[in-house]
């Protein structure tokens, strides 16, 4: 049986292939795919096989009418990337031919006899899968910048599921043009083997989506596009990094983060690491495609002119690693582990530009590694295979980091001799930095907070009130934790420097701080939302405030509220907190269902314009339902609060909570609850009515008092 095989290949760097092939009839019975019947009697289908670098390649299979034999034509299409020679071309054709022989019974050229064995029941698509399914998972997160879901691939090391209290460094892996986050498979393969051989520190690996899969010729360059259409740097730095830190047990420190990238991903890794040296401690660039105007051939110039930079040289320089190295030499010197790898022919564009960067770094006295693994071509798989000890780089970068993260220590009591607690930066390898006391006059000029220093807050042992509602506040400020089927809701976060007490209380109850998905502020004073920023930044919690309490959040930044002086003793240097974005502004009467809990929010002005009344149902141990309510702040004697009290008096609240434990005798009730004698003391419907009657009487009597 005689067949002819002809192939035509155009130059390419990353293989993007369309295949028109013809199969023998035997293949049809074995393959599980759907074949489409055409009017002329021919049949066709879409399949997939592995190309260069094991890239999944779509192939279209077409069989004419009749029994054959037929000639087979393989058409390979790719692109030219400024290279004088592309060794992958031959490999691409060989892989395409091997695909046909293996799955469609074609004998080798010049041979005769029976066709090759047919594919098994797994079919073509199953055979095309890379062997990384057991090591990685594809995940998504919701990007506000892109207004949709973004994929990423995640690898967790062998001990991740076993050692629950351990935190890990993380490498963000950036693929090349036309690739996808799954391209990290080879890096994961060699990393996992090195870890299991005790040669490499355990780490997480995240495959980043560069928005260039599916044959896109330009991709994102991992930059914010000049025209604003693709804010990829924002997605990575402001959304993906926090998402990973909040979703997985990372170290959450600069020293515990690294970037590694191939080709345009190598360019992206360098520019992100150089621009954000405060976030990353190491960077590796493999054959980095260091784009520049006027060099590198048509493909490079297409990226320069139509991609992120839009042909604007000034904007390009803001992202060019060579330019950034000059500008940020002091920030990089001695602080960033840098590794440059090039396995391409000398004189090749990417090799030449990598050498130029290495020379510039040497001139600037920025320490780095320059690795020449041999002529592996523009092929990251071959680079990894040629570097059996490549793991040593991460041994240097991550080797001294503490594997188990310690919780920030709680602040000392006010009567302690050591008053100042958290001005020091966190140690390397520690948990995210603990909350600190900010000088509000320096952090927010003109916004001088006031705090009653006579209050000596002390921690309180957390306890369950009923039905998954817990008290996690201290002796001066309340905080309540509500368990749902979709994580925890935390109502109020106390003072900034008291947040470690919250973390400790949450853990004592058997939860993790990362289980907190929503933090709500009863009102916007610093002693009630002082820890919101911490839970948002480090654990990804959403922050909710009353709509009328956060006018500045509409602009994206929440300024700290002022605490009114309770007596003549005030502190002009009040603890404040970094700005944070409010994810949800709650309207009067709004109802939100979260994790099986139905919460109703009412505007209760007086203490602040946007003080909240929060209502939700609870059940006792016998299944009887009760209505719980938490009033976010009081202002006895103020006309506005008197009107609020009259309105709230109409509510049937049976389990009532306050913003401060003294408002509803929380600690005394806790002692009774602990004793276990009598009914639950927090179920107190008459107490709610009586309390509001007193507030109304004070208001109508014209006597204004502090909360």
Q: What is the pLDDT of residues 250-275, one digit of tens each?
A: 988 889 999 999 988 999 999 999 99
pLDDT of residue 655 exceeding 90: yes
Q: Examine residue 90 and state whether it is found in any structural domain, yes or no.
A: yes
Q: Is residue 706 part of a domain?
A: no
Question: What pTM did the predictor assign?
Answer: 0.45
Q: Are residues 73 and 148 in the same domain?
A: no
Question: Which tens digit of pLDDT belongs to each residue from 102-130?
Answer: 555 544 433 333 333 332 222 222 222 23
Asked which of 371, 398, 425 is the last residue of a domain, the reply is: 398
Q: Would 405 be classed as within a structural domain?
A: no
209 lies in a domain?
A: yes
Helices (DSSP H) in 6-151: which residue ranges?
Answer: 25-30, 88-104, 123-127
CB 531 within 8 A of CB 543: no
Query: Are 485 and 516 members of one domain?
Result: yes
Sheet with 655-658, strands from edge to edge, namely 590-594, 597-603, 612-619, 625-631, 655-658
**Would 669 be classed as within a structural domain?**
yes
Give the domain range for residue 117.
5-127
Q: How many domains does the chain have?
A: 3
Q: HEC string of 373-440?
A: CCCCCCCHHHHHHCCCCCCHHHHHHHCCCCCECCCCCCCCCCCCCCCCCCCCCCCCCCCCCCCCCCCH
- Whether residue 110 is found in the same domain as residue 163: no
List all residues 6 or more positions away from 193 whose beta carbon is below 8 Å from its beta carbon: none
Give the model confidence (pLDDT) of 420-471 as tens digits: 333 333 333 333 443 333 333 332 222 223 333 334 578 899 999 999 999 9
Between β-strands 5-9 and 625-631, what pairing exists: parallel, antiparallel or unpaired?
unpaired
Taking residues 221-230, what's their average pLDDT? 85
Do 122 and 187 belong together in one domain? Answer: no
Domain boundary among 127, 154, 171: 127
Q: What is the mean pLDDT of residues 280-300?
A: 80
Considering the domain architecture, whether residues 213 and 248 belong to the same structural domain is answered as yes
Question: H/E element holding 269?
Answer: helix 264-275
Question: Dihedral through CA 409, CA 411, CA 413, CA 415, nearest 10?
Answer: 110
- At residue 431, the pLDDT reads 39
Would residue 409 count as lying in a domain? no
Same-domain status, 233 and 213: yes
Rounded CA-CA distance 110/2 in Å is 8
* 551-571 average pLDDT score: 32
Q: What is the mean pLDDT of residues 39-66?
A: 68
- 425 assigned to some structural domain: no
- Assess whether 98 and 151 both reside in one domain: no
pLDDT attached to residue 499: 75
SS3 295: coil
**Are both 651 and 619 inside the same structural domain?**
yes
As a whole number of angstroms, the distance between CA 163 and CA 696 comes to 55
Residues 470 and 526 in one domain: yes
Is residue 484 domain-shared with residue 607, that is, in the same domain? yes
Taking alpha carbons only, the member of 129, 99, 130 closest to residue 116 is: 99
Residue 212 confidence class, pLDDT cut points 50, 70, 90? low
CA angle 487, 492, 494 (to 5 degrees): 125
> Same domain, yes or no, for 242 and 120?
no
* Domain-located, residue 418: no
Are residues 255 and 147 part of one domain? yes
Q: Cis omega (within 30 of 0) on the bond before 375?
A: no
For 190, phi then psi, to 5°, come to: -75, -35
When pLDDT is averaged across residues 283-291 and rounded to a whole number, the result is 90
pLDDT over threshold 90, residue 292: no
- State the pLDDT at residue 98: 65
The answer to whether 441 and 450 have CB atoms below 8 angstroms apart is no
């Amino acid at each position: 049986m005689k067949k002819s095989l002809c192939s035509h290949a155009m130059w390419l760097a990353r293989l993007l292939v369309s295949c028109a092939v013809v199969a023998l009839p035997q293949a049809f019975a074995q393959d599980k795919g759907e074949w489409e019947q055409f009017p002329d009697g021919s049949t066709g289908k879409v399949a997939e096989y592995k190309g260069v670098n094991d890239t999944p390649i779509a192939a279209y299979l077409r069989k004419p009418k009749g029994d054959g034999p037929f000639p087979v034509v393989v058409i390979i299409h790719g692109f030219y990337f400024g290279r004088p020679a592309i060794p992958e071309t031959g490999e691409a054709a060989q892989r395409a031919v091997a695909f046909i022989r293996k799955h469609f019974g074609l004998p080798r050229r010049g041979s005769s006899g029976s066709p090759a064995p047919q594919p098994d029941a797994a079919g073509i698509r199953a055979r095309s899968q890379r062997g990384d399914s057991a090591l990685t998972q594809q995940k998504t997160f919701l990007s506000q910048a892109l207004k949709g879901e973004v994929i990423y691939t995640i690898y967790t090391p062998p001990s991740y599921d076993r050692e629950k209290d351990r935190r890990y460094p993380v490498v963000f892996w950036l693929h090349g043009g036309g690739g996808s986050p799954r391209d990290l498979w080879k890096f994961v393969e060699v990393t996992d083997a090195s870890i299991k051989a005790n040669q490499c520190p355990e780490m997480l690996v995240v495959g980043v989506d560069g928005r260039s899969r599916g044959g896109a010729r330009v991709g994102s360059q991992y930059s914010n596009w000049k025209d604003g259409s693709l804010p990829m740097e924002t997605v990575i730095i402001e959304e993906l990094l926090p998402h990973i830190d909040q979703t997985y047990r990372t170290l959450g420190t600069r020293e515990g983060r690294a970037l590694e990238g191939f080709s345009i991903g190598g360019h992206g890794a360098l520019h992100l690491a150089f621009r954000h040296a405060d976030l990353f401690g190491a960077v590796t660039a493999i054959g980095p495609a260091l784009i520049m105007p006027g060099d590198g051939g048509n493909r490079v110039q297409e990226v320069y002119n139509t991609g992120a930079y839009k042909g604007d040289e000034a904007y390009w320089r803001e992202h060019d690693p060579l330019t950034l190295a000059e500008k940020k030499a002091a920030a990089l010197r001695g602080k960033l582990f840098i590794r440059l790898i090039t396995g391409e022919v000398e004189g090749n564009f990417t090799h030449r530009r990598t050498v130029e960067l290495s020379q510039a770094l040497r001139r600037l006295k920025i320490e780095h590694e320059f690795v020449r693994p041999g002529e592996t071509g523009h092929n990251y798989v071959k680079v990894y295979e040629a570097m059996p000890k490549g793991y040593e780089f991460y041994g240097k970068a991550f080797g001294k980091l503490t594997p188990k993260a310690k919780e920030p220590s709680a602040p000392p009591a006010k009567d302690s001799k050591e008053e100042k607690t958290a001005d020091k930066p966190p140690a390397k390898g520690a948990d995210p930095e603990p909350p600190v006391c900010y000088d509000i006059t320096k952090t927010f000029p003109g916004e001088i907070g006031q705090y009653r220093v006579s209050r000596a807050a002390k921690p309180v042992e957390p306890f369950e009130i009923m039905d998954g509602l817990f008290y996690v506040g201290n002796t001066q400020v309340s905080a309540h934790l509500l368990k749902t089927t979709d994580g925890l809701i935390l109502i109020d976060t106390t003072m900034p420097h008291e947040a470690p007490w919250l973390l400790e209380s949450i853990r004592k109850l058997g939860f993790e701080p990362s289980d907190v998905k929503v933090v709500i502020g009863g009102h916007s004073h610093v002693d009630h939302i002082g820890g919101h920023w911490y839970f948002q930044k480090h654990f990804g919690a959403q922050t909710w405030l009353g709509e009328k309490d956060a006018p500045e959040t509409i602009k994206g930044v929440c300024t700290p509220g002022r605490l009114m002086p309770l007596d003549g003793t005030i502190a002009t240097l009040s603890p404040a907190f970094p700005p944070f974005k409010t994810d949800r502004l709650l309207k009067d009467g709004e109802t939100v269902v979260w994790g099986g809990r139905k919460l109703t929010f009412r505007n209760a002005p007086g203490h602040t314009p946007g003080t909240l009344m929060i209502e939700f149902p609870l059940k006792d141990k016998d299944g009887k339902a009760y209505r719980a309510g938490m009033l976010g702040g009081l202002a006895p004697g103020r006309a506005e609060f008197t009107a609020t009290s009259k309105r709230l008096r109409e509510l049937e609240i049976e389990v009532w909570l306050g913003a401060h434990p003294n408002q509803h005798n929380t600690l005394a009730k806790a002692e009774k609850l602990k004793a276990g004698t009598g009914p639950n003391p927090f179920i107190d419907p008459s107490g709610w009515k009586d309390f509001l009657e007193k507030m109304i009487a004070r208001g109508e009597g014209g006597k204004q008092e502090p909360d």
